[in-house]
Amino acid sequence: MKNSFKPIAYLLITFAFSACSENKKEQKAEIEIPDSGPVFDEVYRPQYHFTPAENWMNDPNGMVYLDGEYHLFYQHNPDSNVWGPMHWGHAVSTDMLHWKHLPIALYPDSLGTIFSGSAVIDKGNTSGLGKGGVNPMVAIFTYHHPEKSQTQGIAYSNDKGRTWTKYENNPVLENPGIPDFRDPKVSWYDHGDGTGKWIMTLAVKDKISFYSSPNLIDWKHESDFNPSWASYGGVWECPDLFPLIDQEGHEKWVLLVSINPGGPNGGSATQYFTGNFDGNSFNADGKEVKWIDYGADNYAGVTWSDIPKADGRRLFLGWMSNWQYANIVPTTVWRSAMTLPRKLELYHFDGKNLLASRPVQEIKTLYDNSEKIEAKSHLLRDELFHLDLKKKEESLASIKLSNELGEEVILSVEEDKIVFDRSKSGKVKFNKEFQAIHEAPLNGLEIYDIDIYSDKSSLEIFFNEGELVLTEIIFPNAPLLKLDLEGIENNGEIHYLNSTW
Ligand code: FRU
């Protein structure tokens, strides 16, 4: 899908402009969006993953933490359950699991619809957009316009994200003549001497461009990153750039780049690079394509800004779908969920710096009761669970979940790869690609631990505490509650999870 966009956009965009041309305060009257009730009982509605109350959602946007609240904005079409004129939906949470839906934060205007981007707390009010001594929350996003193309705009809030004002001189970054020019991820780069600057990491067709700014308004191009050996199967989108401390205590920088299509198992996926960023350019420390997730359904994921130092975690959330079929998955009221929130950490294996994603520990607060799994077969009581298994040493393994209709998913640990088969998992015929068998190479990694998180229509599978991950959506016609295990120690545990609604 190079240089292209979802065709449905062009049909719906005119409607968006005429319907929503307001450029100033965007807050609609406070509306009541139910956080529970029949809308949330739809058969595939996730019970502990974030979903929009109604209609379409794609990428997570503007993830920022302020005063005890995790903010999640998201690509949203409020008028339909397929992709269309993009708005920023909004929700807040104190634990990344229980979410409160808030009114739409950003509406399209004459410059375009509102594509993906980020948000920061402008500490020190470098933008001058804070009023009354407040450090504003500033959103940096892409305007998508069929004729004017893609530009970057900003909006600000002085009341903890409750109301938003677009900056009056938008766009702050004009398009240099490249149709794919989007998804700004902004963070503060500290020079280490008390001074610093804002860095914007931007996806530009098939490269990453870095820009810098003293004030979030005036941007200067710094450098580009597009090494010849990276993955170029599709357009680059939704980047993120952040430092992590490696196992030896050294700072390493990580660059996430989502790519669509061209993922290791078809369609959308996120590659990452480890290396060094010096405030001007990024240099990778290897020449190998690495993927954050080998499942088909973790895309456009980025991390939260402004997590307090005392917490120190790098927290990630992805969109749990794939552009191959996102618009036609068999859900009704809502379409698409986010992944579980995950903590990103570096680990060293075989001379490489790699990224582990682990579910956040907050998930344990949802534990209801637990059971031991001591036999090869087990009948589960409910499909909301965390399955904690240890693989037998020097053995292959397989885990099957099935139902009385003969529907099943099979996860196998083979000699040199993981195989995930959802081809008979229930509703699969809506898209040919959905039936594909997925594989993840082990590259010498010895699997010892397997954690599976199951919700109504997803499985998130973490090997060795997140060293290798597969995120997969499924649509069984009855819950997959029969568990059959091979090559697994008989000391497994299942933790049933409470719904967050
Ligand atoms: C990624 C993406 C972004 C874009 C947004 C539009 O899924 O294509 O590049 O900003 O979706 O909804």
Tell whether the model's pLDDT for residue 163 goes beyond 70.
Answer: yes
How many angstroms is it from 238 CA to the middle of ligand 1? 7
The overall average pLDDT reported for the chain is 93
335 in the same domain as 430: no
Boundary of a domain, candidates 359, 380, 407: 359
- State the CATH number of the domain containing residue 458: 2.60.120.560
Ligand 1 atom with least separation from CA of 142: 10
Residue-level pLDDT at 32? 54
Ligand 1 atom with least separation from CA of 323: 7
Is residue 1 in some structural domain? no
Is residue 28 in some structural domain? no
**Tokens at residue 490, please?**
């008989």
Is residue 133 in some structural domain? yes
332 in the same domain as 184: yes
* 138 contacts 106 by C-beta, under 8 angstroms: no
172 in the same domain as 45: yes
335 in the same domain as 376: no
For residue 38, what pLDDT band results from cuts at 50, 70 and 90? confident
Boundary of a domain, candidates 338, 359, 380: 359
How many angstroms is it from 25 CA to the middle of ligand 1? 24
354 in the same domain as 393: no
DSSP secondary structure of 153-198: EEEEESSTTSS-EE-TT--SB---S-S-EEEEEEEEEE-SSS-EEE
pTM recorded for the entire structure: 0.94
Beta-carbon contacts of residue 454 (< 8 Å; ≥ 6 apart) = 383, 384, 385, 386, 387, 401, 480
How many angstroms is it from 307 CA to the middle of ligand 1? 24
How many angstroms is it from 59 CA to the middle of ligand 1? 7
Is residue 3 in some structural domain? no
Q: Give the residues across from 75 on adjacent strands.
A: 88
122 in the same domain as 94: yes
**What's the pLDDT tens digit per position in 304-317?**
999 999 999 999 99
Mutating to test ligand 1, I would choose from 183, 268, 336 the residue with most ligand atoms within 8 A of its C-beta, which is: 183
Strands (E), 304-404: 315-319, 334-335, 342-349, 352-359, 367-373, 377-379, 385-390, 397-402
Is residue 27 in some structural domain? no
CA torsion 438-183-144-178 (nearest 10°) is -90
Ligand 1 atom with least separation from CA of 268: 7
377 in the same domain as 332: no
Residue-level pLDDT at 90? 98
Is residue 462 in some structural domain? yes
410 in the same domain as 327: no
Tell me the catalytic residues. Answer: 59
- Residue-range definition of the domain harbouring residue 345: 8-21+34-359
Is residue 226 in some structural domain? yes
298 in the same domain as 169: yes
- State the CATH number of the domain containing residue 101: 2.115.10.20
**What's the pLDDT tens digit per position in 366-390?**
999 999 999 999 999 999 999 999 9
Q: Give the residues across from 187 on adjacent strands.
A: 199
Ligand 1 atom with least separation from CA of 237: 9
First to last CA, the chain: 37
Question: What is the arithmetic mean of pLDDT over 355-362?
Answer: 98
Residue-level pLDDT at 36? 66
Nearest partner of 150 among 128, 172, 127, judged by Cα? 172
117 in the same domain as 191: yes
Boundary of a domain, candidates 339, 359, 379: 359
Residues within 6 Å of ligand 1 by CB: 58-59, 75, 86, 115-116, 142, 182-183, 237-238, 300
Query: How many folded domains does the chain comprise?
Result: 2
316 in the same domain as 379: no
407 in the same domain as 303: no
Is residue 347 in some structural domain? yes
